[in-house]
Amino acid sequence: MNKKNIFLIILFLTGCLCTVLSQTVTSPDGRYSFTFAQVHNRLTYRLSFNGKDMTHGELGVDIDNHLVESAMGIPTDTNRVWTAGMRLTGTETLSKDTTWTPVYGEYAQLRDHYNELTLHFAKGSTEGANGTAYDKRKQYLFDIIVRAYDEGIAIRYHFPEATNGLFMHITSDRTSFAFADGTEAWHAAWAQAQYSRVKLLKSEPAWCNESERPLLLHLPNGLYTAIGEAALSDFVRGKLKLTADNVLGMSMYDTADIITPYDMPWRVIMAGEKAVDLINNKQLFLNLNAPCRISDTSWIRPGKAIRVTQLNMAAAMKCVDFAVDRGLQYIELDAGWYGPEMRVESSALRVASNRDIDMPRLCQYAREKGIGVWLYVNQRALWQQLDSILPRFNEWGVSGIKFGFVQVGSQEWTTWLHQAVEKCARYHIMVDIHDEYRPTGWSRTYPNLMTQEGVGGNEEMPNAQHNTILPFTRFLCGPADYTPCYFNGRVKNTHTHQLAMPVVYYSPITFLYWYDKPELYRGEEELDFWKHCPTVWDESIALDGEPGEYIVQARRSGNEWYVSAMNGLTERTVVLNTACFLKKGKKYTMELYTDDPTLKTRTNVRTQMLTIKGGKPITLHLLSSGGAAVRFVPTK
């Protein structure tokens, strides 16, 4: 008798106790252990990391579908737990270890290595007239898929193809996460909000609102944990709500209608002994998405951009020339180029009559100098005109569209938005989504989705504490268009803090000089760091840091290394251990940019050119709200 049959017999014999024997899956390195059990009609789990308890909770969904349930003889009480009464009918296991090459990213290659456990459930009538035959027409089928990576755990609900062909109306996601008393979280109520560090207690005012994901937590046993969402393209957005003291639950934006077979988004749980461990394992979000569906990706070109702040032909051409001189690849015309963006009559098929811009001639001028053009379009015009806009922009020679004020959350708008990105790919147009959209790794499937906002960036002018929380929270799920600026007087941090951003903050399309104009540049030599700095990388290592305190990030492009440090509100000294990334004993030219208030310059940034050997530690003194930027070039 095989193991599966023995297991099912044991399940039958223990069924009267309403308890199913546990099923466990561990990560390839053995550090994560996920154990499932069914107890008193509840689908439960426990999760540990390095032998330390992380979280436990419930799994499942609720469904309200009167017609289907009545036909199947299942009670139609909409307040009941739909997953109660599910019978575990079997399990499957799978192990996978492959490597794939992204079109661009933070790594030249990514390893996709996991152990998978699938739990098959059924609900409804299972007996025919003779009491033994199965009647699949009167069953709901439901799978829980658990993947254990070295980087984290992912849980997905799968609905197999229903033989009755009827849809399901999903009303809630019952996934919950219970933590030890004393756990703290970095809460943000919306995608562009500031963070507050709070305990998981109903008495905390922050929990009057749900929290954005990824949600960073610090456990009493020392572990850092993050909860996120991956592979969201045609479902409703999930956030996290406090359902009881120390218990978080998934909160769906709205109900969702699905037709089987169907996969819900992944629920992701990561852990680390150090906070930077989460940063170094965030490729998990990409691994949980489907491979690239664009056959020819040669037109997808990462790079740096400057916004045209004065919407006229002369200013736009001046920005093109500035881009050439300062190592940028794009210019962008923002809101207003085709008229008031919120007005129905504003058509993105033409330039507004009060704007002195010849779009085809501008695109040709830029193209002749190796510069691309991005255009902002509000969702009102996108929704009304997308199918007409795309061929027109393609005719003009536009490189990318910045989507503005998109609706997010509902199943309808989530599906529309991702279908719009897919349509853009057909016309070789890249996309930057602004406002409240947060990524879930879908740019692996459609890499023309280059970046997105969903972050409290320089449009809000946050302080250094907020800026040093972001790498441990928002940037875990994907790139963010923070829009760094350099000369604007409203910036609350030092110039070197700003200079460090393109290395710490990953974004394949990076908008620099956001509130700046070309004429503000007066030959500041430290801005050569921005000129040479790439936006995509072959290797990335978060070296050190604590949320809200500081972050030190190293990245490699070819044989050059870039390292940036951003500091919070407390002055500190950090030691850069170059043995972690440079070849020991090899000579490098080190370009070092640091804050120096004693300098009699506009920006107070000191530039030093030094020769060092790999392996030598480097001490960086970081001012309050300051930073440091370093470029290592091998000497010949």
Closest to 265 in 3D by CA, of 389, 441, 79, 30: 441
ω before 261 within 30° of 0 (cis)? Answer: yes
Q: Name the DSSP letter for residue 107.
A: S
Give residue 323's pLDDT. Answer: 98
Rg (CA), the chain: 26
Q: What is the pLDDT of residues 423-482, one digit of tens each?
A: 999 999 999 999 999 999 999 999 999 999 999 999 999 999 999 999 999 999 999 999
Do 348 and 389 touch, CB atoms closer than 8 A?
yes
Helix-, strand-, coil-residue percentages of the chain, each rounded to 5 = 20, 35, 45
Count of CA atoms in the C-beta half-sphere (13 A) of 17? 11
d(CA 364, CA 344): 29
Give residue 79's pLDDT. Answer: 42
> Does residue 376 carry a pLDDT above 70?
yes
- pLDDT average, residue stretch 293-322: 98
Q: How many residues appear in the chain? A: 636
The owner of tokens 């902002």 is: 376
> Does residue 169 carry a pLDDT above 70?
yes
Give residue 138's pLDDT. Answer: 61
Confidence of residue 13 (pLDDT cuts 50, 70, 90): very low
d(CA 579, CA 590): 15
Give residue 41's pLDDT. Answer: 84
Least confident of 9-18, 91-100, 149-158: 9-18
d(CA 578, CA 597): 27
d(CA 494, CA 153): 38
- pLDDT average, residue stretch 248-253: 97
Q: What is the pLDDT of residues 176-220, one digit of tens each?
A: 999 999 999 999 999 999 999 999 999 999 999 999 999 999 999
Q: What is the pLDDT of residues 569-595, one digit of tens each?
A: 999 999 999 999 999 999 999 999 999
- pLDDT average, residue stretch 36-48: 94
d(CA 441, CA 424): 18
Burial label, 211 (beta-carbon count in 10 A; 0-12, 13-18, 19+): buried
Give residue 125's pLDDT. Answer: 59
d(CA 562, CA 629): 8
- pLDDT average, residue stretch 551-565: 98
The owner of tokens 């000129």 is: 531
Tokens at residue 580, please?
Answer: 């972690």
Do 149 and 121 touch, CB atoms closer than 8 A?
no
**E-assigned strand segments in 59-130:** 61-63, 87-100, 110-124
> Does residue 397 carry a pLDDT above 80?
yes
> Does residue 130 carry a pLDDT above 60?
no
Closest to 564 in 3D by CA, of 477, 497, 612: 497
Q: What is the pLDDT of residues 499-549, one digit of tens each?
A: 999 999 999 999 999 999 999 999 999 999 999 999 999 999 999 999 999
